[in-house]
Amino acid sequence: MTEFTPREHDILFFLLSREEPVQIQEIAETLETSERTIQRERDRLAQSLEDHELRLTYVRGRGLLIEGTDEAKHVLRDQLLLSHKQLPTAEDRQVELAYRLLQEDGMVKLQAIAHAMYVAPSTISQDLERIDEWFMQYDLEIKRKKGIGAEVIGEEINKRRLLISLIFTQWDVLAFYRLLQGDVDQLPHLLQMNRTSWLEMINQAYAVIAPLTKEGRLNDRQIMRATLSLALQALRKDQFPMRYELKAYPVEILKWVERVEERLPDTLSIAERQWLSEELRAFFQSDAGDTEELVTRLRVKRLIEHVSLLYGTNFTKDYALERGLVSHIQSYTRQNSVNPSYVIKQIEREYPRLFDAVKQAALSIFTDATFEDVDLAFWVMHF
């Protein structure tokens, strides 16, 4: 199996989704790179494609085109799809940047972050512009000082919420439980920077949460979040203390906090008890919509990339599609399915390949959620 670099993977993915030649300038703009980079990759890609019985052709005045049989293109597309799960995307890099910023107390030099992430400082500067919106969603701000660096301004409670969402973008419930069973390779890349501490705190936190789950009040995803909330608290409470705000909580929530605290090795401050109260209230009131939006958005991006690979059409620049899918998944209710059997039959009859591509991609990306065919039929309608 041919090994492609992330850049080569992106170029091939883009060209396979097009049936006509594409100008090098358009490829460069779409992939957010330079024309020189595309030119530099051409010879190696052309040689690699020969192993797949395909040709990378330059049509004068029109651009690059992958030529060959549909079967050969399908085989290459399958290989790219398999390797795609392992390749870091621009979103993965931006998630890591956000995570690193939230680990710092005060101003951090962007040059240092760029060096740690093995990217150019200009890439970090561009990524900062793209993740501003993520921080604003959690009432946080990335404050920059030219020539010095950047720091995150805002309340610790919101920083923790964003951190948990960032972790959820790279980790699902199945991998979480496999970790608890002893498969430490299931720890996501994001937490590898402080691997030993995270493994210790996650196991300790789950030992506290597990006996309290027997009442059946929390589902698997809530158990995972409760465990992460406790682990994150243990890792941050000394260096990044919470600020207490006077709020009232239901008696049931306060009793749960007491039960959790009884199983902790150290007594919590009032502010740290409030962190647990806020998290538990969100669980019991099903008030997780806003905090889950970032997770859904980044998963939808991956979904669209997978469908593009499987179906052979590039949907990745269709921002209306992305917004529509995010909105649909966030607000989906069964009342949308007026006549589910009719919807499914119509979609399967008119768009069988697209339905199959969306179904395969959903199984790959949303591994901790179950979607019925009627759910996926409405996703296909967005495409």
Q: How many CA atoms lie within 13 A of 242 on its CB side?
A: 23
In this prediction, residue 333 carries a pLDDT of 43
Task: Report how far apart, in Å, the C-alpha atoms of 153 and of each of 29, 71, 97, 106, 124 are.
Answer: 33, 53, 15, 9, 18
Summarised one tens digit per residue, pLDDT across range 326-355 is: 888 877 544 444 455 666 777 878 888 888
Is the model's pLDDT at 78 over the cut of 80? no
Is the model's pLDDT at 25 over the cut of 50? yes
Per DSSP, the residues of 221-250 read HHHHHHHHHHHHHHHHTTTS----------
Per-residue confidence at 247, pLDDT binned at 50, 70, 90? confident
In this prediction, residue 336 carries a pLDDT of 46
Q: What is the mean pLDDT of residues 176-195?
A: 91
Per-residue confidence at 96, pLDDT binned at 50, 70, 90? very high
d(CA 257, CA 268): 10
Least confident of 15-29, 66-80, 228-242, 330-344: 330-344
Fold of 90-154: Arc Repressor Mutant, subunit A (1.10.10)
In this prediction, residue 378 carries a pLDDT of 83
Summarised one tens digit per residue, pLDDT across range 262-319 is: 889 888 999 999 999 998 888 776 545 445 788 888 889 888 888 887 777 778 888 8
If you average pLDDT over every residue of the chain, what do you get? 85
Local structure of 46: helix, strand or coil? helix
End-to-end Cα separation, the chain, in angstroms: 31
Task: Report how far apart, in Å, the C-alpha atoms of 151 and of each of 91, 96, 145 are.
Answer: 20, 15, 9
Summarised one tens digit per residue, pLDDT across range 350-373 is: 888 888 888 888 887 887 677 788
Fold of 6-84: Arc Repressor Mutant, subunit A (1.10.10)
Q: What is the mean pLDDT of residues 239-258?
A: 89
Tokens of 141: 């701000």
The share of the chain scoring above pLDDT 90, in percent, equals 32
177: left (phi over 0), alpha (psi -120 to 50) or beta: alpha
- Cβ distance 43 to 79 under 8 Å? no
d(CA 158, CA 151): 15
141-145 and 63-67: which strand pairing? Answer: unpaired
Q: Which amino acid is at 296?
A: T
- Cβ distance 29 to 12 under 8 Å? no
Q: What is the pTM of this model?
A: 0.73
Domain boundaries, the chain: 6-84, 90-154, 166-287, 290-382
Among 70, 72, 65, residue whose Cα is nearest residue 11: 65
Is the model's pLDDT at 228 over the cut of 80? yes
d(CA 160, CA 229): 8
Per-residue confidence at 85, pLDDT binned at 50, 70, 90? low
Among 206, 189, 231, residue whose Cα is nearest residue 92: 189
286: left (phi over 0), alpha (psi -120 to 50) or beta: left
Local structure of 215: helix, strand or coil? coil
Per-residue confidence at 229, pLDDT binned at 50, 70, 90? very high
The alpha-helical segments, DSSP class H, found in 185-338 are 195-209, 220-236, 251-262, 270-284, 289-311, 319-331
Local structure of 260: helix, strand or coil? helix
Is the model's pLDDT at 240 over the cut of 90? yes
Summarised one tens digit per residue, pLDDT across range 131-182 is: 999 999 999 999 998 888 999 999 999 999 999 999 998 898 888 999 999 9
Q: What is the dihedral of CA 257, 261, 264, 268, to 10 degrees?
A: 110
d(CA 220, CA 66): 45
- Cβ distance 139 to 158 under 8 Å? yes
Neighbours of 128 (CB within 10 A): 19
Among 8, 150, 146, 149, residue whose Cα is nearest residue 76: 8
Is the model's pLDDT at 215 over the cut of 70? no
